[in-house]
Amino acid sequence: MIPRLAVASKNPDKVREIEEVLSSTGLASDIVRGLDWPDVEETGETLEENALLKGRAVTEATGLPALADDTGLEVDALGGRPGVRSSRFAGQEVSYAENVGLLLEKMAGVEDRTARFRTVVALVFPDGAEVTAEGIVEGSITAAPRGRNGFGYDPVFEVEGRTLAEMTLDEKSRLSHRARAIRALARAFGL
């Protein structure tokens, strides 16, 4: 078990989900909050590269083992886009609603609506050791947003009849890409 761990994200929506799942794995005994570090540019070409960039930067700045996550939404009818560029789909520094709006626009009238969320988590230690793991959830893109929970593309991503935004945090954590990636990471440590 890692005695003190930093969660390498400044996105409170993401941090809440990571902490919820982490606490059930036994991977860390103490998640250290209130830390700060310089913003990390996501210049990698893959989710794994970006997760490692974030994890390394936070470990370097805090001196603690750091857990980072990078996530992409892969839409089959769009050739796997927006993928690694999911946060910048509608442009730099745009809102969740703008990204969702562009996605629905591109999917208007499209029959094949299958898609998946993919998360890669990276755990980086101060001694340079690095472990990554991946989690995927398959679903489909709805015609219009539904639900008020979650964040990002959750209102337009449906799994088994409900969007992720129609699920409680606990329900999302049972099946989400992020939760699966964190549980896979814990398994890599024999947990």
- Which residue from 22, 74, 86, 115 is in contact with ligand IMP, where contact means CB under 6 A? 86
Q: Is 127 helix (H, G, I), strand (E, B) or coil?
A: coil
Binding of residue 71 to ligand IMP (CB under 6 A): yes
Q: Could you write out the DSSP letters of every residue in 34-87?
A: S----------SSHHHHHHHHHHHHHHHHSS-EEEEEEEEEEGGGTT-EETTGG
In the bound state with ligand IMP, the residue whose beta carbon lies nearer, of 86 and 132, is 86
Phi, psi dihedrals of residue 53, rounded to the nearest 5°: -55, -45
Q: Virtual CA dihedral for 8, 9, 15, 21, nearest 10 degrees?
A: -40
Cα–Cα distance, 19 to 179 (Å, whole number): 10
Cα–Cα distance, 36 to 95 (Å, whole number): 23
Question: Considering only residues 102-161, where is the footprint of ligand IMP by CB under 6 A?
Answer: 150-154
Binding of residue 173 to ligand IMP (CB under 6 A): no
- Which residue from 87, 132, 142, 173 is in contact with ligand IMP, where contact means CB under 6 A? 87
In the bound state with ligand IMP, the residue whose beta carbon lies nearer, of 59 and 99, is 99
Measured at CB, which residue is nearest to ligand IMP? 152
Q: Which helix (H) or strand (E) holds 3?
A: strand 2-7
Cα–Cα distance, 47 to 152 (Å, whole number): 17
Taking the complex as a whole, the smallest distance from the CB of residue 160 to ligand IMP amounts, in Å, to 16
Other Cβ atoms closer than 10 A to 29: 10
- Which residue from 178, 179, 181, 183 is in contact with ligand IMP, where contact means CB under 6 A? 178
Binding flags for ligand IMP, 31-50, as an x/- string (CB under 6 A): -----------x--------
| Positions marked catalytic | 70
Stretch that binds ligand IMP, among 24-32, 67-75, 128-136, 140-148 (CB under 6 A): 67-75
Binding site for ligand IMP (CB under 6 A): 11, 42, 70-71, 73, 86-87, 96, 99, 150-154, 164, 176, 178
